[in-house]
Structure formats: C-alpha cells, structure tokens
Structure 1
Amino acid sequence: MNKAISYFIEKAADWLFRKRSPALMVFRAGVYFLPLTLAGSWAVSIMYKDAESTFSLGYQSSSTAQFIVVSCLIVEIGLIVFGAVWEYQRYRDEKKRNDKKKTIVIEQRGLVDTSDSPLSEYIKIKCSWQVESIVNDIREKITDNVITRPDVALARVNNLKMSLDERTAQSAASDISIVYGGVSPVPFTFYTGYLLDDESQIYVYDWDRDVGDWRGLDGVDDGEQFSIEPSLIKGNSVVLAVSVSYPVDRHAIASVFTGLPVHYLSLPLLDRNNHWSKEKQDRLSGEFLEYCKKLLGQGVEHIHLVLACQNSVAFRFGQAYDKRNLPSVSVYQYERQQKLRYPWCLKIPHEEGEIPLIV
C-alpha cells in the first residue's frame, strides 16, 4: 500500500513539476488557476449551528460575476482535460518511437577496471529506450598494467565489428545510436575507431580519472593546435609521434626506430584533462589526417604511429584515418618500465587479403 501511494505521489509530482512538454504546460495552467478562481469566487456562504441557535451569513454576487466565475471554471477544467489527453497522446506516440529505438554501448576494459561503473548503466540513466551492451574485456591478459598476450586481445577486438553488425541487423539505421567508451591500450583503441569509422554517429565517452566515472565530451574548445616538427629526411617509411596528454619518449623513439625519419605533432600544453571538448577532438583529428595526407604526398608508404593521448583521442584518430587512401599504419604500445619501451605494435595493412597483426 505504501509503495502504491509513493508511486502515485511521484507520478503526480512528475506531471505537476518535473516533466516538460507543451501539453503539460496547458495542463498545469488549468491546475494552477483553478484554486485561484475557487478562492476568489463571488459566492460566499458561512453557517454555524449548535443545539441552541443557528447563525448563517451569506453573500451572493451579481449574476454577471457568477457568469464570469463559471466561465473561468469551465475554461480551467477544459485546459486540464485537454492537457491531460494531449500529454497521454504524446506519451503514447513517444513510447511507440522508443520501442523501435536502440542504443548499443561498446565498452573496452583494459588498463582500468570500470566493471563497478559499467558505461551501459551510465547511459541507461539518460535514455528512455532500449540499451544493449557489448563489453570487450582484456583485463585477464594484463598484468601490472602490461598486456601479456596482445595477440589474444586483438582477436577479441576483431569480434567487435561482428557483434555490432549482429545487433543492428534487424533495425533501421535511423533507430540505432552507438556509444563508445573505454580504457584500453592505445593500439587497440585506435584500431577500434578504425574499424567503426563507417558507422553512423558514434557518441564517445571517456573515463574521468579525477572522479572515477564516465563523462561525455562536453567541454569547450580552447583552440589549441598541433605544433609541427617535420623531419628533413625523406623515406617511404616514417615515424609520426603525437603528444596530447603526455610527451612522447623521444629517447626511446630514437633507440627503437633507428634510421627512420621522425615527425612530431605536439600540443602546447600537455595535460590529461585537455581533451573534454568534442569540437577540439574533431579539429585535432582533422589536423592529424591532413598531416598524414601530406606524408602520403611525400611518397610515404608506411607510418609508424606513436600516440601519447587519452583513450577517446586515440579512438577519434582511428576513426579519422582513411583506410582506403592513406599509407598502411603500425600503432605502437608504450611500456615505460620495460627495457624496450615500444615492445610491440598493431600493424594495419591496406593490401587486399591481408589482416591486422601484432608485431
């Protein structure tokens, strides 16, 4: 019984105060003005009665005033009924649309354990329609933040595209939205964006380490641009090192990529929280794409890509990389505690019939 009363009170509060729609504005106008009309009516009657006496006081306004009161009451009750019917019709139509809609949440778990705060649960709070989750979890292949079997992890990332296609096959493209987020090794995050670049609008979230929860790219674009340090040496294979959150390890790059030309793209201020603007990420990914096109024009056939950036930035750069026209690319994993700080890479070839592989 108490639950039923609480439910009724909650729904009544939603209708009277919380929800926003034109229909409810009409409904609330009728509800708010009705008591004022009743309280300010021209008809007043007071009666007191006990065993010995009766006292009665009455005042009746003119027929014109009564006509105004009755007219106001009719209008206000009409507004309430009309607003309620309109809101019900709107709710029913919205429910029909929401029954068709679906949001598919792709979450990659690797370097940080986000299982206590699944991205799908965060998204469900924001949605009134169906939410499905695809979790790509490679944590058992990571020891002390070092991935031990990148080949096994790659196989799981490859399955993401198939899983997504299975969940979208029976729905119209207009009814599907996709959300991505995760904390995963840079090569796999870049490759995931590379795989999903042909999908419709993807809403990207990132893990906010300061608060330990998910956050959308809701910040303001600060206008930062990449500063460019090109190499004067030409070659058909080059290193492109990009610094966003941290500076790339130039000493390690020089020791691992001996003899290769190295090109640097760096933001003026390197910070782990400089990426919360979608507009900024779109712009920087455009600058990254244009520089890769410039390298292509210089005869470059393969890019060794070193990224020091946040998860969402790596994903966005992967989305931006043109798999049909740009050079093939190898994306490197950085391990600061190892003697060889770039121990492996994910090579993404462009040749027909070849598949991505760990090198």
Structure 2
Amino acid sequence: MKKSISYFIEKAADWLFRKRSPALMVFRAGVYLLPLTLAGGWAVSIMYKDTERTLSLGYQSSSTAQFIVGICLIVDVGLMVLGAVWEYQRYRDEKKRNDKKKTIVIEQRGLVDTSDSPLSEFIKNKCSWPVESIVNDIREKITDNVISRPDVALARVNNLKMSLSEKTAQSAASDISIAYGGVSPVPFTFYTGYLLDDESQISVYDWDRDVGDWRGLDDVDDGEQFSIEPSSIKGNSVVLAVSVSYPVDRQAIASVFTGLPVHYLSLPQLDRNNHWSKEKQDRLSGQFLEYCKTLLGQGVGHIHLVLASQNSIAFRFGQAYDKRNLPSVSAYQYERHQPVRYPWCVQILHEAGKKPSVIQTEFKHVA
C-alpha cells in the first residue's frame, strides 16, 4: 500500500513539476489558475461583536462577477482536460516509436575492469527504449596489463561484426542506434573503429579514470590541432607517430623501426583529459585522415601507426581511416617494460583475401 501511494505521489509530482512538454504546460496552466478562479468566487464575511459594539465586513460578488468566474472555471477545467488528453496522446505516440527503437551497446574490456559499471547500464539511464549489450572481454588474456595472446583477442574482435549483425537483423536501420566504449589495447580499439566505420551513427563514450565511470564526449572544443613534424626521407613504408595523451617513445621508435621514415603528429598539451570534446575529436580525426592522404600522395604504400591516445581517440581514428583508398596500416602495441617496446601490431592489408592479423615485431631491440 505504501509503495502504491509513493508511486502515485511520484508520478503526480512528475506531471505537475518535472516533466517538460507543451501538453503539460497547458495542463499546469489549468491547475495553477483553478485556485485563483475559485478564490475569486468566494463570498467573504467577517464579523466582530462585543458588549459595546458590532463590526461587520462583508463581500458578495455580483451576478456578473459570478458569471465571469464561471467562464474562467470552465476554461481552467478545459485546459486541464485538454492538457491531460494531449499528454496521453503524446505519451502513447512516443511509446509506440520507442517500442521500435533499440540501442546496441558495444563495450570492450581489457586494460581496466569495468564490469562493476557496465556501459549498458550507463546508457539505460539515458534512454527509454530497450538496450542490448555486446561485451568484448579479453581480460583473461592480460596479465599485469600485458596481453599474452593478442591473436586470440583479435579473433574475438573480429566476431563483433557478426554479433552486431545478429542484433540488428530484425530491425530497420532507422530504429537502431549504436553506443561504443571501452578500455582496450590501442591496436584492437583502432581496428574496432576500422571494422565498424560503415555502421550507422555511433555514439562514443570513454572511461573517466578520475571518477571511475563512463562519460560522454561533452566538453567544449579547445581548438587544439596537431603540430606536424614530417620526415624528409621518402619511402614506400613509413612510421606515423601520433601523440595525444602521452608522448610517443621516440627512442624506441628509432630503434624498433630502424631505417624507416618517421612522421610525427603531436598536440601542444599532452594530457589524459584533453579528449572530452566530440568536436575536437572530429577535427583531430579529420586532420589525421588528411595527413594519411598526404602520405598516400607521396607514394606511401604502408603506414606503421604508433598511437599514444585515449581509447575513444583510437576508435575515432580507426573510423576515419579510409579502407578503400588509403595505404594499408599496422597499429602497434606499446609495452614500456619489455625489451621490444613495440612487440606486436594488428596488420590490416588492403589486398583481396588478406585478413587482419597479429604480427610479432622482428626489428632491432630497444637499446
């Protein structure tokens, strides 16, 4: 019984104060004006009497005033009925639309355990339609933040496309929205964006390490752009090193990629929290794409990508990478405490019949 009363009070409060819609504005106007109308129609009478005197104050409205009050009362009740019916119709139409909608949440778990705060639960609090989850979990292949079997993890990433197709097969494309977030090794995150680039609009989220929860890309764009250090050496195969959150390891790059031309893209301020603007990410991914096109124009056939960035940036760069026109690409994993600091990569070749694969680095070790 108490729960029923609490539920009724909560819903009544939503209707009267919290929810926003034109229909509820009309309904509330009727509710708020009704007491004033009733007060205007009251007859006021006050009398004070003692042994010596009698004081009387009275008010009785005229028939004209009563007629006006009656009209106002009808208008107030009419506003309430109109607002209630309109809101019910709006609610029914919205529910009908929402019954068709579905959000597919793709969450990659790897370097940080986010299982206590699933991205799907975060998304459910933001929408009123069904939410389904695809979790790509490679944590059992990671020991002390070092991935032991990248080939097995890559196979799981490859399954994302099929899992997504299964969940969207029975729905119209216009009714499906996709949310992505994760904390995963850069090569897999980049490849995931590359893999999903032709899907419908994807909302990207990232893990906020400061608060231990998910967050959307909701900050204001600070206008930062990449500064570019091109290489004067030409070659069919080049290294493109991009610094966003941390500086890339230039010593390791010089040692591991011996003899290859190296091009650097760097933000002026390297910080783990410099990526929370969608507009900024769109601009940086566009700048990244344009520079890859520049390399293509110089005759480059393969790009070795070294990327020091947050998860969402790596995903957006993967989305931006044009698989039909740009050179083939290898995205490298960085392991600071290993003899070879770039020990493996996900190699993506743009040749018929060639599937992405994990390649172990066979270059010179770090000095």
Specify the TM-score bucket, using the shorter chain as the normaliser.
over 0.9
| Aligned amino acid, residue 213 of structure 2 | D
Q: Is residue 250 of structure 2 the alignment partner of residue 250 of structure 1?
A: yes
* Residue correspondence of structure 1 range 1-359 to structure 2 within 5 A: 1-44=1-44, 59-359=59-359
Cα shift readout 1:151-184 (whole Å, capped 9, x = no counterpart): 0000000000111111111111111100000000
Aligned equivalents of 2:46, 2:171: Cα separation in 1: 66
- The 8 Å contact of residues 42 and 65 in structure 1, kept in 2 or not, is answered as no
Deviates more, 1:166-175 or 1:240-249: 166-175
Cα distance, 1:96 vs structure 2:
0.1
Q: 1:120 to 1:131 in 2, by over 3 A?
A: same
Aligned equivalents of 1:276, 1:27: Cα separation in 2: 40
Aligned equivalents of 1:107, 1:45: Cα separation in 2: 71
| Aligned amino acid, residue 22 of structure 1 | P
Cα shift readout 1:16-41 (whole Å, capped 9, x = no counterpart): 00000000000000001101111232
Cα distance, 1:337 vs structure 2:
1.0
Aligned equivalents of 1:308, 1:333: Cα separation in 2: 9
Unpaired runs of at least 5, structure 1:
48-55
Aligned equivalents of 2:43, 2:97: Cα separation in 1: 49
2:362 corresponds to: none
Aligned equivalents of 1:57, 1:217: Cα separation in 2: 66
Cα distance, 1:102 vs structure 2:
0.5
Cα shift readout 1:89-135 (whole Å, capped 9, x = no counterpart): 00000000000000100000000000000000000000000110000
| Aligned amino acid, residue 316 of structure 1 | R
| Aligned amino acid, residue 172 of structure 1 | A
- The 8 Å contact of residues 240 and 263 in structure 1, kept in 2 or not, is answered as yes
Work out the percentage of aligned pairs sharing the same amino acid. 89
Cα distance, 1:60 vs structure 2:
3.2
Aligned equivalents of 2:24, 2:151: Cα separation in 1: 56
Aligned equivalents of 2:160, 2:344: Cα separation in 1: 22
Aligned equivalents of 1:272, 1:42: Cα separation in 2: 67
Aligned equivalents of 1:185, 1:305: Cα separation in 2: 13
Cα shift readout 1:188-217 (whole Å, capped 9, x = no counterpart): 000000000001110000000111111100
CA RMSD, 1 decimal: 1.4
- The 8 Å contact of residues 44 and 59 in structure 1, kept in 2 or not, is answered as yes
Aligned equivalents of 1:65, 1:40: Cα separation in 2: 9
Cα distance, 1:43 vs structure 2:
3.0
Cα shift readout 1:314-358 (whole Å, capped 9, x = no counterpart): 000000000000000000000001111001000001001110000
Aligned equivalents of 2:161, 2:11: Cα separation in 1: 41
- The 8 Å contact of residues 42 and 66 in structure 1, kept in 2 or not, is answered as no
Aligned equivalents of 1:262, 1:157: Cα separation in 2: 29
Equivalent residue of 2:177, what SS?
A: strand
Cα shift readout 1:209-259 (whole Å, capped 9, x = no counterpart): 111111100111111111111111111000000000000000000110011
Aligned equivalents of 2:313, 2:179: Cα separation in 1: 15
- The 8 Å contact of residues 229 and 265 in structure 1, kept in 2 or not, is answered as yes
Aligned equivalents of 1:26, 1:277: Cα separation in 2: 37
Aligned equivalents of 1:45, 1:125: Cα separation in 2: 55
Aligned equivalents of 1:58, 1:119: Cα separation in 2: 67
2:365 corresponds to: none
Cα distance, 1:61 vs structure 2:
1.6
2:50 corresponds to: none
Equivalent residue of 1:355, what SS?
A: coil
Equivalent residue of 1:241, what SS?
A: strand
| Aligned amino acid, residue 326 of structure 2 | L
1:50 corresponds to: none
What TM-score do the two structures reach when normalised by structure 2? 0.94
Aligned equivalents of 2:329, 2:295: Cα separation in 1: 12
Cα shift readout 1:267-306 (whole Å, capped 9, x = no counterpart): 1110001100101100010110011011111111000000
- The 8 Å contact of residues 239 and 263 in structure 1, kept in 2 or not, is answered as yes
What TM-score do the two structures reach when normalised by structure 1? 0.96
Aligned equivalents of 2:146, 2:341: Cα separation in 1: 11
Unpaired runs of at least 5, structure 2:
48-55, 360-367
Equivalent residue of 1:117, what SS?
A: coil
Aligned equivalents of 1:92, 1:102: Cα separation in 2: 17
- The 8 Å contact of residues 245 and 310 in structure 1, kept in 2 or not, is answered as yes
Equivalent residue of 1:170, what SS?
A: coil
| Aligned amino acid, residue 208 of structure 2 | D
Cα shift readout 1:5-62 (whole Å, capped 9, x = no counterpart): 0000000000000000000000000001101111232434789xxxxxxxx9975321
